[in-house]
Structure 1
Amino acid sequence: MLLSLIGQLLRARSDPLLPDEIMNLYHNSKAIGTSPDIKDLQTAASHITKLSKKTFIILDALDEFPKDTRGSVLSWIGEVAADHNAGSLSILVTSRPEADIVKSLEPLTNFSISLQSEIINADIRVYIQNSLDGRDGFKKFSKEIRSEIEDTLVTRSHGMFRWVDCLLRILQECLTPKAVKAALKELPKDLDSVYLRILDSIHETQREYIQRAMHWLAFSAEPLTLGQLAEAVVIEYDVNKYGEDPETLFDPNSLMSICPSLISFEDARDHKHFTQESRRLRLAHFSVKEYLI
């Protein structure tokens, strides 16, 4: 994270020359053939932020940072905030309210927004309205049915955009208004219940491959492409040979069509620069991995 932050801060500078501290850090680490020490990276990042009159840092999903090293990140945030003049540095952090994060950041916070509060309902309502108007699956329903979907999801969402998104995907597959009304009466109460319903709805002949795909994505050492994942899910662990019969390969496009709520493309914004099978995949949300584990 710190290496990425340093790189972004340097690219934002108008001065093309690298600061001496960065050059020294590079040469010192190169000389001993190792990556820079975390403390040195923290010092370098703090130094770079001081080179600009105003710096904005955004740290998204801090709760997804590994717990065993998250403490050092939280300490650095406190140190860098205290080491800057008022108004010269602004840090935006998004996270679930994990106890250690709240304890560390609450004393530093000037302004916070809770996604479980009523003030977020307006944003959720706009998101639902745009989805109902823009997705083909909802165009077959009357205005009254769409309004019922909107009001019910806003009321039951409790600030969970992810819950709303998954339920919209489920509801757009309903064929009749009666089916929509029935689904709205039996909405899952939390994300775990949503994921269970999604998996249960997958045809039994496909479920094994989808579960394999999600396990590969959850525990692979590096991001997998769609083509790699399509091959990985058909590997049988009790055989000595693999790949001789091309008919055994899993259709890669099926992975995305069967469970779009659970798996998504990592490079969705740059899809024009990749072939379909070379695009990298990830679990659609960190909560999916938590559910699997």
Structure 2
Amino acid sequence: GSVVRNGRGFRRISAAQLAWPFKQSRARKLLAELSHHKATLLLAISGDISHDLKDIQSALSHLSDVVSDSDKREIFRWLEKTNPSSLQTTTFRKHEPHTSTWMLRLPEWENWLSGKHPDRSLWIHGPPGTGKTVLASFLIEQIQHHCDHSPSGSRMGCAYYYCHYSHDQDECGPFLSWTLSQAGRQTRYLPGRLKRMYDRGCEPSIPELESALELVLEQLDVLYVVVDAIDESNPRSELVNLIATLVLDTRFRKIRILTTSRPYFEIERVFGAIFGSVVSMSNAAVKTDIRKMVNSRLASSYRLRRWRDEHQRIEDLLVAKSDGMFQWAELQLRKIERLRDISQLEETLQNLPVDLAETYTRILSAISPQDREYVRRVLIWVIGHSKAAWLTSNGINAELLVSAADYDLYGNRKESSSNEIDRSFDVEHLRELCDCLLTFKCVSSEEPDDGSMTSSTATLVDDAGVGSTLSKKTVYRVSVSHYTVVEFLESSYILSNPSVSYFSLSQGVIRYEFATSVFRQAIEANPDFDGTSPTDWETDREAYCLTLGCTLGIWQLDMFEPDVEFSEADHLAELALQYYSPSNPHFSRFRGIQRRIATDPRASDSFYLASLPSRFDDLIVEDESILQADYSSAKTLLCILSVPTTYTHGKFIRRCVQRLLKSCGRDYDELMNTRVSGYRTVGGSHVDWDEDESQYGVAGFEDDGQIEYYEQAFEGTVRECRFP
């Protein structure tokens, strides 16, 4: 045996005890327990790992949805297809101090703004010319002040949107997109799904915009939304239904919405049933505001001061006969400003027109016969510009407008002979003729006349009145003074009056004559031999027409109303073929303008001109008498097919193609299989110039060496080279 020492001495251990201490059954039991614990531990570890992986995946998913500030800005700009901010600026400047305050005293307003009442919707309606839009601009300022001065920690947001006849669109998408961008900017939150749509280049649908807005609303306690002129959406029924959804759907319970419109039946039928509060503009308070406006104008206008002794009488008469219409009172004041003596004033006050229709009839009747054609051309250009696919709704540059209307009437005739009388007009003369029909907004000479929605603009009102000297350094932008002017020109009323029927302008006639003028002036533009021709489409008449031409097909000119005859649409297709033909001298101008489009931050997808080839290479052919005509037609076909085709103007493009095939005597497949080669101008800030220099022709660089644009080579059949 062995002896082992312990704390109390020695103890003898037998040999049996030094052997394996466990019996077989005991060992098996312990091994089974170890195996069980091992499985339990492995299961626990596996669960922890799985949980950690899920956490990592969740974190990665969250990171993928995290949007940088720069990306947010880009996505917000992407959403802002129609920016109404300049309309708010311009409209609020028309607001007369101390007017519209009657609205603030109404319980309907107080309940809506405070949120103390469960009804979160307010509808303001009234006839045309009653000042609904100016009132809306005033209320928007009040809401913004309310949000800015709310208690710390309260999460309030404000968004507004102006529908406008010149947009000529269904306002649902633009309204929701703008509201979403404004709410997102104010909360600094943008849903990840919106970024994924942006990354895929997808245009968000109405349901997708609604879902994104629902997520943004989680960041707010209340979002005030003001929508002006619901009735000017085209069609209006879609927007009415969307507003009803925002009012009734609990997903949008945090939205408090205020709308304005005319009291049309289809709007009243819906809003009257679901809106919690309704306010009519036909009330005594509106007349009080008209009195304040008239009083202010009488006191401030240099020309109206002459009738100081008659001020009270003028004020009383205009208020009494205005029938609540600010526009009517404003037009009468403008007429009185032009009067020369007291006898004319007396006659005018005793013979005031009864409504806006009679007012516009008198304005147009007073235009002298020698000026009528010019005024008609001006109206076509102003309205045509406002309805065209363009960067801005700020109006058309006044100098460009004068030049375009002048060219329509006289072309280059006034320059062709030194003995010919110069009958050209200027901006001052334009204001004299059209002051009551058009609004002139001035842009400070210190700011670029970029036509963008952020330009500083103001309605031109001066003490000197019509005929005052205009600063040569100031840029003016021109638009229709009020929607009712366009409505009058398009109405059946004007046709029934022989004295003014010459000015009747249906939508189809405006579109046809404006498009014809734009195409003709583009085709007749001076060629660019040395790369120095003007490229600013905002100020230069030729650059404007060259740039806008590619967008004219979206007007559905051969589908629009019966007042555009087949022969007229066919004539327009012929002009379009000349516009797209690279063999015509004006085509050389496109290259410089395309470079500007590629590099100008104000450029937009509406400039379809950017899709056209910038230039073609000459192909060497064995028998030019046989192939050269086909090659020229093939180049024209490539240009036509390079314009992004949508449903809205696909039919017009097909008409152009059919006319091209008829003129060259070839079928479609023959031209599609003709080989062409050349270059396209592409915005190149994202391109590594060293990647493959062989595919590039010319590149433009910034001072730091970054590429602003490049010309990408193409070669192949028309079918292979057309814009995808």
Specify the TM-score bucket, using the shorter chain as the normaliser: 0.7 to 0.9
Q: Determine if the alignment matches structure 1 residue 10 to structure 2 residue 184.
A: yes
Q: For residue 59 of structure 1, give the secondary structure of its aligned residue in structure 2.
A: strand
Match of 2:346 in 1: 181
Match of 1:126 in 2: 292
Corresponding residue pairs, total: 281
Q: Determine if the alignment matches structure 1 residue 261 to structure 2 residue 436.
A: yes
Q: Deviations over 1:67-105 (max 9, x none)?
A: x3x222111111112235898322221211111121222
Q: Deviations over 1:15-72 (max 9, x none)?
A: 2x422243233234x0x5xx33244334434543453212111111222111x3x222
Q: Deviations over 1:94-128 (max 9, x none)?
A: 21111112122222323333223323111111111
Alignment of 1:212-291 (within 5 A): 212-220=377-385, 221=388, 222=390, 223-236=395-408, 242=412, 245=415, 247=422, 249-265=424-440, 268=442, 273-274=447-448, 279-291=476-488
Higher RCO by CA contacts (8 Å cutoff, separation 6 or greater): 1
Q: For residue 234 of structure 1, give the secondary structure of its aligned residue in structure 2.
A: helix
Query: In 2, are the aligned partners of 1:263 and 1:282 still within 8 Å (CA)?
Result: yes
- Shift of residue 130, structure 1, vs aligned partner: 0.8
Q: Determine if the alignment matches structure 1 residue 162 to structure 2 residue 327.
A: yes
The change in CA–CA distance for 1:118 and 1:217 in structure 2 (over 3 A counts) is same
One-letter amino acid of the counterpart of residue 212, structure 1:
R
Q: For residue 381 of structure 2, give the secondary structure of its aligned residue in structure 1.
A: helix
Query: In 2, are the aligned partners of 1:59 and 1:94 still within 8 Å (CA)?
Result: yes
Match of 2:196 in 1: 24
Structure 2's unaligned 5+ residue stretches are 1-173, 417-421, 450-472, 491-724
Match of 2:209 in 1: 41
Q: 1:58 aligns with which of 223, 226, 245?
A: 226
Match of 1:208 in 2: 373
For residues 439 and 374 of structure 2, the distance between their equivalents in structure 1, rounded to whole angstroms, comes to 16
Query: In 2, are the aligned partners of 1:57 and 1:90 still within 8 Å (CA)?
Result: yes
The change in CA–CA distance for 1:172 and 1:102 in structure 2 (over 3 A counts) is same
Alignment of 1:54-133 (within 5 A): 54-66=222-234, 68=235, 70-84=236-250, 88-133=254-299
For residues 442 and 199 of structure 2, the distance between their equivalents in structure 1, rounded to whole angstroms, comes to 36
Calculate the TM-score normalised by the size of structure 2. 0.36
- Shift of residue 179, structure 1, vs aligned partner: 2.1
The change in CA–CA distance for 1:232 and 1:86 in structure 2 (over 3 A counts) is closer
Query: Could you tell me the percent identity over the aligned residues?
Result: 25
For residues 308 and 397 of structure 2, the distance between their equivalents in structure 1, rounded to whole angstroms, comes to 40
Structure 1's unaligned 5+ residue stretches are none
For residues 423 and 343 of structure 2, the distance between their equivalents in structure 1, rounded to whole angstroms, comes to 40
Query: In 2, are the aligned partners of 1:235 and 1:242 still within 8 Å (CA)?
Result: yes
The change in CA–CA distance for 1:185 and 1:130 in structure 2 (over 3 A counts) is same
- Shift of residue 183, structure 1, vs aligned partner: 0.8
For residues 43 and 104 of structure 1, the distance between their equivalents in structure 2, rounded to whole angstroms, comes to 23
119-128 vs 1-10, greater mean Cα deviation: 1-10
Query: In 1, are the aligned partners of 2:191 and 2:215 still within 8 Å (CA)?
Result: no
- Shift of residue 152, structure 1, vs aligned partner: 0.8
Query: In 1, are the aligned partners of 2:228 and 2:260 still within 8 Å (CA)?
Result: yes
For residues 10 and 256 of structure 1, the distance between their equivalents in structure 2, rounded to whole angstroms, comes to 42
109-118 vs 192-201, greater mean Cα deviation: 109-118
One-letter amino acid of the counterpart of residue 415, structure 2:
D
Query: In 2, are the aligned partners of 1:271 and 1:279 still within 8 Å (CA)?
Result: no
Calculate the TM-score normalised by the size of structure 1. 0.84
Query: In 2, are the aligned partners of 1:55 and 1:89 still within 8 Å (CA)?
Result: yes
One-letter amino acid of the counterpart of residue 377, structure 2:
R
One-letter amino acid of the counterpart of residue 23, structure 1:
K
For residues 209 and 187 of structure 2, the distance between their equivalents in structure 1, rounded to whole angstroms, comes to 21
Q: Deviations over 1:181-224 (max 9, x none)?
A: 22122111111211111122223322221121112222231452
Find the structure with the greater CA-based Rg.
2
- Shift of residue 14, structure 1, vs aligned partner: 4.0
Q: For residue 280 of structure 2, give the secondary structure of its aligned residue in structure 1.
A: coil
Aligned CA-pair RMSD: 2.8
Q: For residue 58 of structure 1, give the secondary structure of its aligned residue in structure 2.
A: strand
Query: In 2, are the aligned partners of 1:50 and 1:84 still within 8 Å (CA)?
Result: no
